[in-house]
Amino acid sequence: MRLHRLLMAALLFVGLHAQAQQTEIALSPELSAQINTLSQYTENKRQLRLPEKLPLRFPTRDDLRTYITEQFDLAFTPEAVAESVRFYSVFGFLPPETDLRALLDTFYTSQVGGFYDTDTRTMNVVLLSQRELGTSLPLLERIVYVHEYVHALQDAAFDLDAYLTEPEGVTWSSDEQLARLALVEGDATLIMNEYAMAEAERNPLGTLLGLALGGLQAGNLTLPPGIPDIIADELLFPYLDGEVFVRYLYQLGGWQAVNAAFDNPPASTEHILHPERYIAGDLPQIVLISDHSARMGSGWALADAATLGEFYLRQYLARHLGDQQAATAAAGWGGDAYHIYANGDQLALAVRLAWDSAQDHAEFSAALASFAASETGAAAVEGCYSGKDSAVCVADSGFSYAPTLELAQALVQD
């Protein structure tokens, strides 16, 4: 289970129990008129319409904290937490002792500004400044409203539950799920940012002060201190890279092209990072990898099998190579498969990769050699880099990581 699976739930879906305790608040005529203006603006910009007016609620931070706890209890079972920690740990993203539940709880309770409830079709805007409702929404709350209203428009037009839920008998890779989410959030972020820019053009100083004051009062102008890079990048990817993807489609064919993507979703983060490959229909290749448990000795067993994808491959390489070199090396990703093996607290990894071209493969191989040397502090000996506590072996078809050279060699062989 990757973080974005929970992100889908936290930002788009909410349990009925959490909502049952909240009631709609009577809005003043001035506030009601402002909400109508925001809704009309969003509908006109996005060129979609809602068939009826939506209920609007304003949960407090305490309401949100209760909801987050309930969602985490449902989504973060001990098995799901163990799977996530194994993934982050074996790829070197987080220490194995990381309390992932506490880390995410800190983020969500301080950062989530609103959500659209697909079950009850209700708009929810958190009162970021902790003030009671008056005759108008502060700027930050207005920006959040526009973003979440786009989700309501998406739901009415494309059925978000169906779009983000695996059909029976079908399993999406985490990479594909992240790509699907990037379309949803990129769409909403584009409209939200256009609204913010329009406000800035209308009142530059007031917008700057409103954002600064609102962010300081809410305590969420920036990501909370201590959020690891991988968590921050995962959380931001659907919004930032998703917006670039949606803007590319819009510039190519207007909202018709964006709408069509909901019927023909991006199949990988490669599509989000390189929209031209989505347009070209460059689908991920199927990559096979054998179970090597029998080669590894007593106690070792296959724990996880999945697809990494270009986004996470970038993140992995960037640990030693830097963002730009990692992006260049990961570009041209054609498909992959990985296995994580466990023996108590020990973990090992086998990755197989396919590439769009021989040049892409060569660029990655050169970068991977530099990465392995930095990771282990050792020089290559017959394609393997053996350090004090770990070893990395590189082959034409992929690479392996293990606590010992012998295990790494066993995992890199087909």
**Same domain membership, residue 104 and residue 14:** yes
CA-closest candidate to residue 356, choices 267, 272, 277, 265: 277
Q: Which of 277, 310, 329 is the last residue of a domain?
A: 277
| 220 is a domain residue | yes
**Same domain membership, residue 306 and residue 197:** no
**Same domain membership, residue 249 and residue 168:** yes
Return the higher-pLDDT residue of 70 and 275. 275
**Same domain membership, residue 341 and residue 213:** no
Q: Which of 225, 243, 277 is the last residue of a domain?
A: 277
Residue 373 pLDDT class (50, 70, 90 cuts): very high
**Same domain membership, residue 223 and residue 128:** yes
Return the higher-pLDDT residue of 241 and 3. 241
| 186 is a domain residue | yes
Return the higher-pLDDT residue of 363 and 101. 363
**Same domain membership, residue 120 and residue 150:** yes
Mean pLDDT along residues 31-56: 94
The number of distinct structural domains making up the chain is 2
Q: Which residues make Cβ contacts (< 8 Å) with residue 13, sequence separation at least 6?
A: 115, 117, 118, 119, 161
Question: How confident is the model at residue 226, as a pLDDT?
Answer: 74
As a whole number of angstroms, the distance between CA 367 and CA 383 comes to: 14
Question: How confident is the model at residue 24, as a pLDDT?
Answer: 59
**Same domain membership, residue 304 and residue 233:** no
Question: How confident is the model at residue 153, as a pLDDT?
Answer: 97
Q: Is the pLDDT of residue 165 over 80?
A: yes
| 287 is a domain residue | no
Residue 199 pLDDT class (50, 70, 90 cuts): confident
Question: How confident is the model at residue 210, as a pLDDT?
Answer: 45
- Taking residue 338's Cβ as centre, other Cβ atoms within 10 Å add up to 24
**Same domain membership, residue 165 and residue 121:** yes
Return the higher-pLDDT residue of 233 and 6. 233
- Of 78-82, 354-358, 361-365, 391-395, least confident by mean pLDDT is 78-82
**Same domain membership, residue 266 and residue 162:** yes
Longest dimension (CA), the chain: 75
Average confidence score pLDDT of the chain: 85
**Same domain membership, residue 378 and residue 336:** yes
List the domain range (segments joined by +) for residue 306: 293-412
| 284 is a domain residue | no
Question: Bridge-partner residues for 353, per DSSP?
Answer: 336
Question: How confident is the model at residue 309, as a pLDDT?
Answer: 97
Question: How confident is the model at residue 71, as a pLDDT?
Answer: 72
Q: Which of 246, 277, 308 is the last residue of a domain?
A: 277
| 283 is a domain residue | no
Per-residue pLDDT tens over the stretch 50-60: 988 888 888 87
For the entire predicted model, the pTM comes to 0.89
**Same domain membership, residue 36 and residue 142:** yes
